[in-house]
């Protein structure tokens, strides 16, 4: 790989401009082109960054022989066809969360990247944040005792999606964090929720993940809450951690609290559980932008031929849980054993049949057709990535 890596960013809606800003500022990296079908968005970003080429045709972008890597920040239904096409064109790929819309799609992207020796990375940005790194360090050193459970809330008012439910929109970050802390996959998933705005698209969900040794995690996601909430509580046998991502500089608080059960008791007074209340403290956290760390890591993996921290395998794990949550939702919250989940048969690498995708968020009912990677390309609609 050349010392300077040429990058193309696809999708200039909600999240794409943040990726453009970060890659543009990194050394030994050239943000060569940004791609979107919305020419107004492209014109606005070109006014800010006039040296970056503009493109409305994704096919021309991936056909550029000088482009080494493609970063995809589009709506979820476009993740697989665009990532597949970029990989088959010999480009390294970083795709936003969730990696794809099904386990089968994830497995195919992993197979292509391995066969062609290309980096495939998923944008689980929070794994590059200092608070999550600190939590993992604290848990690994058993500073909170035995990990018992994790409770997460990711709530806000909107943005309502039409092609994915709130779990697929908001929960991938929490799932990736929980798997990173637990260091194992859950063996069972339950999920229940409700559809209040768009029939069949849940806008509030409660997901339960069940791990070994009686450990568990609960994820509450909603598009109906009046406040933006990004909070996670990690409960141990001797201490507890509260992580509030929308708080000020003190995002992490460690509470020296626990409940102790008396081994023996002879009187009613001794029967009561002992509640220990100690100090609360905030560990020092470096203030770095997680997305910048993620972009740096992507470039390092390309240069050094490394497997990313958030590789395709990790992206597959998250989508496997999301698929199980969907199955549970369709069965009124019934438990789904992950080992029993039977994904659809994997797609053939090529030729791939045309994919018909509805444009997200414009309300005009128009659709886009993305031909197979081996065919001459028609222009896909590039829709905006939902809110993180």
User: Which pLDDT does position 70 carry in this prediction?
Assistant: 98
The pLDDT value recorded for residue 160 is: 85
- SS3 for the chain is CCCCEEEEEECCCCCHHHHHHHHHHCCCEEEEEEECCCHHHHHHHHHHCCCCEEECCHHHHHCCCCCCEEEECECHHHHHHHHHHHHHCCCEEEEECCCCCCHHHHHHHHHHHHHHCCCEEEECHHHHCHHHHHHHHHHHCCCCCCEEEEEEEEEEECCCCCCCCHHHHHHHHHHHHHHHHHCCCCCEEEEEEECCCCCCCCCEEEEEEECCCCCEEEEEEECEEEEEEEEEEEEECCCEEEEECCCCCCCEEEEEEEEECCCCCCCHHHHCCEEEEEEEECCCCCCCCHHHHHHHHHHHHHHHCCCCCCEHHHHHHHHHHHHHHHHHHHCCCCCEEHHHCCCCCCCCCCCCCCEEEECCCCCCCCEEEECCCCCCCCCCCCCECCCC
Domain segments of the chain as ranges: 5-126+290-309+340-370, 130-281
Residue 272: the pLDDT is: 58
Predicted pLDDT of residue 10: 98
Architecture of the CATH domain 5-126+290-309+340-370: 3-Layer(aba) Sandwich (3.40)
What confidence score (pLDDT) does residue 159 get? 83
Low-confidence ranges of the chain (pLDDT < 70): 1-2, 258, 260-276, 340-388
pLDDT at 261: 65
130-281 has CATH 3.30.360.10 classification: yes
């Amino acid at each position: 790989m050349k010392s300077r890596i040429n990058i193309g960013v696809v999708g200039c809606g909600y999240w794409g401009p943040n990726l453009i800003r970060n890659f543009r500022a990194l050394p030994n990296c050239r943000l060569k082109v940004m791609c979107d079908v919305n020419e107004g968005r492209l014109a606005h970003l070109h006014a800010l960054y006039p040296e970056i080429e503009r493109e409305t045709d994704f096919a021309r972008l991936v056909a550029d022989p000088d482009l080494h890597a493609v970063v995809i920040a589009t709506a979820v239904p476009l993740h697989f066809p665009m990532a597949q096409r970029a990989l088959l064109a010999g480009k390294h790929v970083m795709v936003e969360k969730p990696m794809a819309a099904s386990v089968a799609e994830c497995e195919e992207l992993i197979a292509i990247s391995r066969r062609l020796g290309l980096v495939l990375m998923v944008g689980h940005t929070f794994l590059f944040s200092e608070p999550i790194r600190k939590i993992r360090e604290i848990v690994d050193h058993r500073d909170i005792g035995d990990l018992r459970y994790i409770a997460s809330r990711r709530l806000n008012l909107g943005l309502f999606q039409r092609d994915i439910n709130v779990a697929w929109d908001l929960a991938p970050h929490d799932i990736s964090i929980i798997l990173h802390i637990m260091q194992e996959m859950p063996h069972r998933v339950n999920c229940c929720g409700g559809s209040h705005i768009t029939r069949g698209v849940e806008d509030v969900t409660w997901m339960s993940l069940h791990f070994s040794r009686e450990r568990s995690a609960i994820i509450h996601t909603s598009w109906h809450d009046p406040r933006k909430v990004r909070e996670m509580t990690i409960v141990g046998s001797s201490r507890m951690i509260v992580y509030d991502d929308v708080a000020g500089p003190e995002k992490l608080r460690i509470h020296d609290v626990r409940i102790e059960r008396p081994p023996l008791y002879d009187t009613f007074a001794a029967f009561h559980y002992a509640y220990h209340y100690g100090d609360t403290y905030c560990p020092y956290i470096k203030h770095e932008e997680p997305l910048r760390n993620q972009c740096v890591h992507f470039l390092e993996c390309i240069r050094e031929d490394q497997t990313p921290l958030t590789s395709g395998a990790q992206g597959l794990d998250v989508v496997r849980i999301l698929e199980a949550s969907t199955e549970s939702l369709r069965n009124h919250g019934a438990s789904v054993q992950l080992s029993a989940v039977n994904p659809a048969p994997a797609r053939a690498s090529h030729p791939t049949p045309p994919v018909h995708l509805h444009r997200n968020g414009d309300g005009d009912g128009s659709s886009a057709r993305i031909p197979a990677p081996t065919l001459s390309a028609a222009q896909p609609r590039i829709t905006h990535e939902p809110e993180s």
